[in-house]
Amino acid sequence: MLILGGYGLFGGRIVRALARDAGLHLLVAGRDRARADAFVASIDAPEARIETLALDTEATDFAARVAALAPEVVIDTAGPFQARRARTDAAGHGDATGCDYRVVRAALAAGAHAIDLADGRDYVRGIVALDEEAKAAGRWVVSGASSVPGLNAAVIEAHRERFAELETVESTISPGNRTPRGWATTLAILSYSGKPYRMLRDGVWRTAYGWQSLRRLRIVGVGTRWAVRCEVPDLDLLPARYPSLRTVEFRAGLELWRMHFGLWLATWLVRAGLVRDLRRFGKPLFWLSERWQRIGSDAGFMHVRMRGRGHDGARQRLDWTLIARNGDGPQIPATAAVLLTRKLAHGALLGASATPCLDLFTLDEFLQTLDGYAMEAREETIREAE
Protein backbone atom coordinates (compact mmCIF):
# COMPACT_ATOMS: atom_id res chain seq x y z
CA MET A 1 0.00 0.00 0.00
CA LEU A 2 1.56 3.27 -1.15
CA ILE A 3 0.40 6.32 0.81
CA LEU A 4 1.33 9.62 -0.84
CA GLY A 5 1.63 12.34 1.76
CA GLY A 6 1.78 9.53 4.28
CA TYR A 7 3.26 11.63 7.08
CA GLY A 8 0.77 14.51 6.68
CA LEU A 9 -2.31 15.35 8.71
CA PHE A 10 -4.64 12.83 7.05
CA GLY A 11 -2.06 10.51 5.49
CA GLY A 12 -0.45 9.99 8.88
CA ARG A 13 -3.76 8.97 10.41
CA ILE A 14 -4.38 6.53 7.57
CA VAL A 15 -0.96 4.98 8.12
CA ARG A 16 -1.45 4.67 11.88
CA ALA A 17 -4.81 2.97 11.38
CA LEU A 18 -3.55 0.54 8.71
CA ALA A 19 -0.41 -0.24 10.72
CA ARG A 20 -2.65 -2.26 13.03
CA ASP A 21 -3.65 -4.57 10.17
CA ALA A 22 -1.52 -7.71 10.04
CA GLY A 23 -0.19 -8.56 6.61
CA LEU A 24 -0.28 -5.08 5.09
CA HIS A 25 2.96 -3.66 3.70
CA LEU A 26 2.85 0.13 3.94
CA LEU A 27 5.01 2.50 1.90
CA VAL A 28 4.98 6.00 3.43
CA ALA A 29 5.94 8.47 0.72
CA GLY A 30 6.37 12.20 0.33
CA ARG A 31 8.86 14.80 -0.80
CA ASP A 32 10.75 14.75 2.53
CA ARG A 33 12.22 11.34 3.43
CA ALA A 34 13.47 12.61 6.79
CA ARG A 35 9.95 13.64 7.84
CA ALA A 36 8.64 10.26 6.74
CA ASP A 37 11.32 8.48 8.80
CA ALA A 38 10.55 10.58 11.89
CA PHE A 39 6.85 9.92 11.57
CA VAL A 40 7.22 6.15 11.16
CA ALA A 41 9.55 6.06 14.20
CA SER A 42 6.71 7.53 16.27
CA ILE A 43 4.29 4.68 15.44
CA ASP A 44 3.92 2.09 18.18
CA ALA A 45 3.24 -0.95 16.02
CA PRO A 46 6.28 -3.28 16.23
CA GLU A 47 4.68 -5.92 13.99
CA ALA A 48 3.84 -3.48 11.20
CA ARG A 49 5.70 -3.63 7.89
CA ILE A 50 6.40 0.02 7.06
CA GLU A 51 8.96 1.52 4.73
CA THR A 52 9.60 5.12 3.77
CA LEU A 53 10.72 6.77 0.55
CA ALA A 54 11.01 10.17 -1.08
CA LEU A 55 8.55 10.42 -3.94
CA ASP A 56 7.41 13.56 -5.76
CA THR A 57 4.23 13.35 -7.85
CA GLU A 58 5.57 16.22 -9.98
CA ALA A 59 8.76 14.35 -10.94
CA THR A 60 9.13 13.18 -14.54
CA ASP A 61 9.93 9.64 -13.38
CA PHE A 62 6.97 9.45 -10.95
CA ALA A 63 5.00 6.86 -12.95
CA ALA A 64 8.07 4.70 -13.50
CA ARG A 65 8.90 4.72 -9.79
CA VAL A 66 5.34 3.77 -8.84
CA ALA A 67 5.46 0.90 -11.34
CA ALA A 68 8.73 -0.32 -9.81
CA LEU A 69 7.14 -0.36 -6.35
CA ALA A 70 4.21 -2.46 -7.63
CA PRO A 71 1.76 -1.44 -4.87
CA GLU A 72 -1.66 -3.02 -4.53
CA VAL A 73 -3.29 0.29 -3.61
CA VAL A 74 -2.17 3.90 -4.05
CA ILE A 75 -3.74 6.31 -1.53
CA ASP A 76 -3.32 9.94 -2.53
CA THR A 77 -3.65 12.45 0.32
CA ALA A 78 -1.41 15.12 -1.19
CA GLY A 79 -3.85 17.94 -1.97
CA PRO A 80 -5.06 20.52 -2.65
CA PHE A 81 -6.91 18.79 -5.45
CA GLN A 82 -8.52 22.07 -6.54
CA ALA A 83 -5.12 22.98 -8.03
CA ARG A 84 -4.80 19.86 -10.14
CA ARG A 85 -5.60 21.29 -13.53
CA ALA A 86 -4.72 19.55 -16.78
CA ARG A 87 -1.38 20.56 -18.20
CA THR A 88 -0.79 21.48 -21.82
CA ASP A 89 2.07 20.56 -24.10
CA ALA A 90 4.03 22.90 -26.38
CA ALA A 91 1.21 22.75 -28.94
CA GLY A 92 -1.37 23.76 -26.33
CA HIS A 93 -2.94 20.30 -26.04
CA GLY A 94 -4.00 19.03 -22.66
CA ASP A 95 -6.01 16.32 -20.96
CA ALA A 96 -9.62 16.37 -22.18
CA THR A 97 -10.84 15.83 -18.59
CA GLY A 98 -9.63 19.29 -17.58
CA CYS A 99 -7.96 17.85 -14.47
CA ASP A 100 -4.53 16.41 -13.79
CA TYR A 101 -5.03 12.70 -13.09
CA ARG A 102 -1.36 11.74 -13.34
CA VAL A 103 -1.40 9.97 -9.97
CA VAL A 104 -4.43 7.88 -10.92
CA ARG A 105 -2.98 6.94 -14.29
CA ALA A 106 0.37 6.03 -12.71
CA ALA A 107 -1.47 3.77 -10.25
CA LEU A 108 -3.45 2.05 -13.01
CA ALA A 109 -0.32 1.59 -15.13
CA ALA A 110 1.32 -0.07 -12.12
CA GLY A 111 -1.65 -2.42 -11.68
CA ALA A 112 -2.85 -0.71 -8.50
CA HIS A 113 -6.18 0.52 -7.21
CA ALA A 114 -6.29 4.30 -6.60
CA ILE A 115 -8.00 6.08 -3.70
CA ASP A 116 -7.84 9.80 -2.98
CA LEU A 117 -9.18 12.23 -0.39
CA ALA A 118 -10.09 14.88 -2.96
CA ASP A 119 -12.70 17.51 -2.17
CA GLY A 120 -12.20 19.47 -5.39
CA ARG A 121 -15.55 19.74 -7.18
CA ASP A 122 -14.26 19.36 -10.76
CA TYR A 123 -11.66 16.76 -9.82
CA VAL A 124 -14.08 14.38 -8.09
CA ARG A 125 -16.90 14.87 -10.59
CA GLY A 126 -14.54 14.33 -13.53
CA ILE A 127 -13.06 11.06 -12.29
CA VAL A 128 -15.71 9.11 -14.23
CA ALA A 129 -13.82 10.02 -17.41
CA LEU A 130 -11.28 7.38 -16.40
CA ASP A 131 -13.88 4.64 -16.03
CA GLU A 132 -12.90 2.76 -19.20
CA GLU A 133 -9.22 2.86 -18.19
CA ALA A 134 -10.06 1.56 -14.71
CA LYS A 135 -12.23 -1.26 -16.04
CA ALA A 136 -9.62 -2.23 -18.62
CA ALA A 137 -7.07 -2.49 -15.80
CA GLY A 138 -9.54 -4.33 -13.55
CA ARG A 139 -9.00 -1.81 -10.78
CA TRP A 140 -10.96 0.65 -8.66
CA VAL A 141 -10.38 4.38 -8.84
CA VAL A 142 -12.23 6.11 -5.97
CA SER A 143 -12.17 9.89 -5.65
CA GLY A 144 -13.49 11.80 -2.65
CA ALA A 145 -12.90 9.07 -0.07
CA SER A 146 -13.27 11.59 2.72
CA SER A 147 -15.93 13.51 4.64
CA VAL A 148 -17.28 14.72 1.29
CA PRO A 149 -18.64 13.11 -0.69
CA GLY A 150 -17.87 9.76 1.02
CA LEU A 151 -19.29 10.13 4.53
CA ASN A 152 -21.89 12.74 3.57
CA ALA A 153 -23.36 10.42 0.93
CA ALA A 154 -23.34 7.46 3.33
CA VAL A 155 -25.29 9.47 5.93
CA ILE A 156 -27.92 10.50 3.38
CA GLU A 157 -28.30 7.00 1.96
CA ALA A 158 -28.63 5.51 5.46
CA HIS A 159 -31.61 7.77 6.19
CA ARG A 160 -33.08 8.22 2.73
CA GLU A 161 -35.89 5.72 3.32
CA ARG A 162 -37.23 7.86 6.16
CA PHE A 163 -38.50 10.26 3.49
CA ALA A 164 -41.14 9.79 0.83
CA GLU A 165 -39.63 12.86 -0.84
CA LEU A 166 -36.24 14.29 0.09
CA GLU A 167 -36.09 18.02 -0.70
CA THR A 168 -33.12 19.53 1.17
CA VAL A 169 -29.66 18.44 2.30
CA GLU A 170 -27.55 20.89 4.30
CA SER A 171 -24.21 19.68 5.64
CA THR A 172 -21.78 21.47 7.93
CA ILE A 173 -18.29 20.72 9.23
CA SER A 174 -16.58 22.67 12.01
CA PRO A 175 -13.30 21.46 13.57
CA GLY A 176 -12.18 22.31 17.07
CA ASN A 177 -9.51 25.01 17.06
CA ARG A 178 -7.05 22.90 19.05
CA THR A 179 -7.29 20.20 16.40
CA PRO A 180 -4.28 20.01 14.05
CA ARG A 181 -4.84 21.70 10.70
CA GLY A 182 -3.40 20.88 7.30
CA TRP A 183 -1.64 23.14 4.83
CA ALA A 184 -3.37 21.57 1.84
CA THR A 185 -6.78 22.03 3.47
CA THR A 186 -5.99 25.70 4.05
CA LEU A 187 -5.08 26.18 0.39
CA ALA A 188 -8.21 24.33 -0.72
CA ILE A 189 -10.44 26.71 1.28
CA LEU A 190 -8.59 29.80 0.10
CA SER A 191 -8.83 28.67 -3.53
CA TYR A 192 -12.59 29.31 -3.67
CA SER A 193 -13.03 31.93 -0.92
CA GLY A 194 -14.85 34.95 -2.30
CA LYS A 195 -15.28 33.35 -5.71
CA PRO A 196 -18.59 32.48 -7.39
CA TYR A 197 -19.87 28.96 -7.92
CA ARG A 198 -23.19 27.28 -8.73
CA MET A 199 -25.45 25.63 -6.17
CA LEU A 200 -29.01 24.32 -6.20
CA ARG A 201 -31.30 26.38 -3.97
CA ASP A 202 -35.10 26.30 -3.96
CA GLY A 203 -35.12 24.30 -7.18
CA VAL A 204 -32.98 26.78 -9.14
CA TRP A 205 -29.25 26.77 -9.89
CA ARG A 206 -27.98 30.01 -8.40
CA THR A 207 -24.68 31.78 -7.81
CA ALA A 208 -23.09 31.49 -4.37
CA TYR A 209 -19.74 32.77 -3.10
CA GLY A 210 -17.15 30.80 -1.19
CA TRP A 211 -16.85 31.45 2.56
CA GLN A 212 -19.85 33.81 2.57
CA SER A 213 -23.52 33.70 3.65
CA LEU A 214 -23.10 33.53 7.41
CA ARG A 215 -25.23 31.15 9.44
CA ARG A 216 -25.10 30.23 13.12
CA LEU A 217 -25.50 26.64 14.27
CA ARG A 218 -25.74 25.36 17.83
CA ILE A 219 -24.69 21.79 18.61
CA VAL A 220 -25.54 20.46 22.06
CA GLY A 221 -22.33 19.55 23.87
CA VAL A 222 -20.17 21.62 21.54
CA GLY A 223 -21.68 25.09 21.51
CA THR A 224 -22.43 27.71 18.90
CA ARG A 225 -20.42 27.89 15.70
CA TRP A 226 -20.69 30.14 12.67
CA ALA A 227 -20.63 28.50 9.25
CA VAL A 228 -20.35 29.72 5.66
CA ARG A 229 -20.85 28.25 2.20
CA CYS A 230 -18.13 26.15 0.61
CA GLU A 231 -17.74 24.57 -2.82
CA VAL A 232 -17.57 20.77 -2.72
CA PRO A 233 -18.34 17.88 -5.14
CA ASP A 234 -21.62 17.10 -3.37
CA LEU A 235 -23.21 20.19 -4.92
CA ASP A 236 -23.23 18.31 -8.24
CA LEU A 237 -23.33 14.69 -7.12
CA LEU A 238 -26.32 14.83 -4.78
CA PRO A 239 -28.82 16.54 -7.14
CA ALA A 240 -27.92 13.99 -9.83
CA ARG A 241 -28.34 11.17 -7.33
CA TYR A 242 -31.61 12.38 -5.77
CA PRO A 243 -33.72 14.23 -8.39
CA SER A 244 -36.27 15.32 -5.78
CA LEU A 245 -33.72 17.61 -4.11
CA ARG A 246 -34.44 21.31 -4.37
CA THR A 247 -31.60 22.58 -2.18
CA VAL A 248 -28.10 21.20 -1.60
CA GLU A 249 -25.73 23.20 0.55
CA PHE A 250 -22.40 22.61 2.23
CA ARG A 251 -20.94 24.83 4.92
CA ALA A 252 -17.85 24.94 7.08
CA GLY A 253 -16.78 27.05 10.01
CA LEU A 254 -13.86 27.84 12.28
CA GLU A 255 -14.30 27.76 16.04
CA LEU A 256 -12.43 31.01 16.74
CA TRP A 257 -14.58 33.91 15.66
CA ARG A 258 -11.52 36.08 14.98
CA MET A 259 -10.35 33.55 12.37
CA HIS A 260 -13.77 32.80 10.95
CA PHE A 261 -14.87 36.41 10.53
CA GLY A 262 -11.40 37.57 9.51
CA LEU A 263 -11.47 35.22 6.54
CA TRP A 264 -15.09 36.16 5.83
CA LEU A 265 -14.12 39.84 5.63
CA ALA A 266 -11.21 39.00 3.33
CA THR A 267 -13.53 37.24 0.90
CA TRP A 268 -15.24 40.56 0.17
CA LEU A 269 -11.93 41.84 -1.22
CA VAL A 270 -11.95 38.95 -3.68
CA ARG A 271 -15.60 39.41 -4.55
CA ALA A 272 -14.98 43.15 -5.16
CA GLY A 273 -12.05 42.36 -7.46
CA LEU A 274 -9.48 44.04 -5.19
CA VAL A 275 -7.68 40.74 -4.52
CA ARG A 276 -7.51 38.02 -7.14
CA ASP A 277 -6.86 34.99 -4.96
CA LEU A 278 -6.45 34.59 -1.20
CA ARG A 279 -3.97 31.74 -1.66
CA ARG A 280 -1.24 34.36 -2.02
CA PHE A 281 -1.74 35.04 1.70
CA GLY A 282 -1.81 31.35 2.61
CA LYS A 283 1.47 31.19 4.52
CA PRO A 284 0.87 34.13 6.89
CA LEU A 285 -2.72 33.05 7.49
CA PHE A 286 -1.61 29.48 8.25
CA TRP A 287 1.12 30.77 10.59
CA LEU A 288 -1.40 32.94 12.40
CA SER A 289 -3.87 30.07 12.80
CA GLU A 290 -1.16 27.87 14.32
CA ARG A 291 -0.14 30.66 16.69
CA TRP A 292 -3.72 30.69 18.04
CA GLN A 293 -4.03 26.91 18.19
CA ARG A 294 -3.97 26.72 22.00
CA ILE A 295 -7.21 28.71 22.20
CA GLY A 296 -10.62 27.09 21.98
CA SER A 297 -11.53 23.43 22.22
CA ASP A 298 -10.57 20.06 20.77
CA ALA A 299 -14.19 19.28 19.84
CA GLY A 300 -15.45 19.41 16.26
CA PHE A 301 -18.48 18.08 14.43
CA MET A 302 -20.08 17.11 11.15
CA HIS A 303 -23.79 17.89 10.92
CA VAL A 304 -26.16 16.73 8.17
CA ARG A 305 -29.70 18.13 8.02
CA MET A 306 -32.23 16.46 5.71
CA ARG A 307 -35.68 17.92 5.03
CA GLY A 308 -38.68 16.67 3.10
CA ARG A 309 -41.94 14.79 3.48
CA GLY A 310 -42.33 11.61 5.47
CA HIS A 311 -44.35 8.62 4.35
CA ASP A 312 -47.37 10.05 6.18
CA GLY A 313 -47.23 13.17 4.01
CA ALA A 314 -46.11 15.45 6.83
CA ARG A 315 -43.04 17.65 6.61
CA GLN A 316 -40.11 16.40 8.65
CA ARG A 317 -36.49 17.17 9.41
CA LEU A 318 -33.75 14.72 10.31
CA ASP A 319 -30.55 15.96 11.97
CA TRP A 320 -27.54 13.64 12.07
CA THR A 321 -24.44 14.76 13.96
CA LEU A 322 -21.02 13.22 14.50
CA ILE A 323 -19.06 14.87 17.32
CA ALA A 324 -15.32 14.33 17.61
CA ARG A 325 -13.44 15.08 20.82
CA ASN A 326 -9.86 14.85 22.11
CA GLY A 327 -8.54 16.16 18.79
CA ASP A 328 -9.77 13.08 16.90
CA GLY A 329 -11.62 15.17 14.29
CA PRO A 330 -9.07 14.60 11.46
CA GLN A 331 -9.75 10.87 11.73
CA ILE A 332 -13.15 11.44 10.11
CA PRO A 333 -11.84 12.51 6.67
CA ALA A 334 -9.15 9.82 6.89
CA THR A 335 -11.50 6.92 7.64
CA ALA A 336 -13.08 6.27 4.23
CA ALA A 337 -9.66 5.52 2.74
CA VAL A 338 -8.86 3.15 5.62
CA LEU A 339 -12.16 1.34 5.19
CA LEU A 340 -11.83 1.01 1.40
CA THR A 341 -8.22 -0.17 1.64
CA ARG A 342 -9.23 -2.91 4.05
CA LYS A 343 -12.06 -3.96 1.73
CA LEU A 344 -9.69 -4.16 -1.23
CA ALA A 345 -7.07 -6.04 0.78
CA HIS A 346 -9.64 -8.66 1.80
CA GLY A 347 -11.32 -8.95 -1.60
CA ALA A 348 -14.55 -7.43 -0.27
CA LEU A 349 -14.87 -4.81 -3.00
CA LEU A 350 -15.59 -6.62 -6.25
CA GLY A 351 -15.63 -5.22 -9.76
CA ALA A 352 -13.75 -2.26 -11.20
CA SER A 353 -14.67 1.35 -11.94
CA ALA A 354 -13.61 4.99 -11.69
CA THR A 355 -16.15 6.73 -9.50
CA PRO A 356 -16.73 9.34 -6.84
CA CYS A 357 -16.92 7.76 -3.38
CA LEU A 358 -20.57 6.69 -3.45
CA ASP A 359 -22.19 3.38 -2.43
CA LEU A 360 -18.87 1.72 -1.54
CA PHE A 361 -19.54 1.45 2.21
CA THR A 362 -22.42 1.91 4.59
CA LEU A 363 -22.69 4.40 7.44
CA ASP A 364 -22.55 1.52 9.91
CA GLU A 365 -19.29 0.29 8.38
CA PHE A 366 -17.85 3.78 8.59
CA LEU A 367 -18.78 4.22 12.25
CA GLN A 368 -17.41 0.75 13.09
CA THR A 369 -14.08 1.78 11.56
CA LEU A 370 -14.06 4.78 13.92
CA ASP A 371 -14.42 2.49 16.95
CA GLY A 372 -11.86 3.41 19.59
CA TYR A 373 -11.78 7.11 18.76
CA ALA A 374 -13.53 9.81 20.79
CA MET A 375 -16.62 9.98 18.58
CA GLU A 376 -20.32 10.31 19.30
CA ALA A 377 -23.01 9.93 16.62
CA ARG A 378 -26.55 11.08 17.28
CA GLU A 379 -29.69 11.72 15.25
CA GLU A 380 -33.06 13.39 15.78
CA THR A 381 -36.22 13.45 13.67
CA ILE A 382 -38.54 16.44 14.01
CA ARG A 383 -41.96 17.05 12.48
CA GLU A 384 -42.13 20.52 10.94
CA ALA A 385 -45.06 22.84 10.37
CA GLU A 386 -46.37 23.33 6.84
CATH of 147-328+369-383, one of 3.30.360.10, 3.40.50.620, 2.40.160.40, 3.30.420.10: 3.30.360.10
- Separation of alpha carbons 369 and 322, rounded Å: 14
pLDDT of residue 93: 43
Extents of the domains making up the chain: 2-146+330-361, 147-328+369-383
β-bridge mates for residue 304, sequence order? 171, 320
pLDDT in tens, 144-185: 999 999 999 999 999 999 999 999 999 999 999 999 888 889
Angle between helix 257-271 and helix 282-291 axes, rounded to 10 deg: 170
Q: Are strands 25-30 and 223-229 parallel, antiparallel or unpaired?
A: unpaired
List, for residues 327-386, the tens digit of each pLDDT value. Answer: 999 999 999 999 999 999 999 999 999 999 999 999 999 999 999 999 999 999 999 887
Give residue-wise pLDDT tens across range 60-108.
999 999 999 999 999 999 888 887 887 654 444 456 678 999 999 999 9
Indicate the DSSP class of residue 99: B
The pLDDT of residue 350 is: 94
Across the chain, mean pLDDT equals 95
Given this model, what pLDDT does residue 182 score?
87
How does pLDDT run across 127-146, given as a tens digit for each residue? Answer: 999 999 999 999 999 999 99
> Whole-angstrom Cα distance, residue 327 to residue 179?
5
Fold annotation for 2-146+330-361: Rossmann fold (3.40.50)
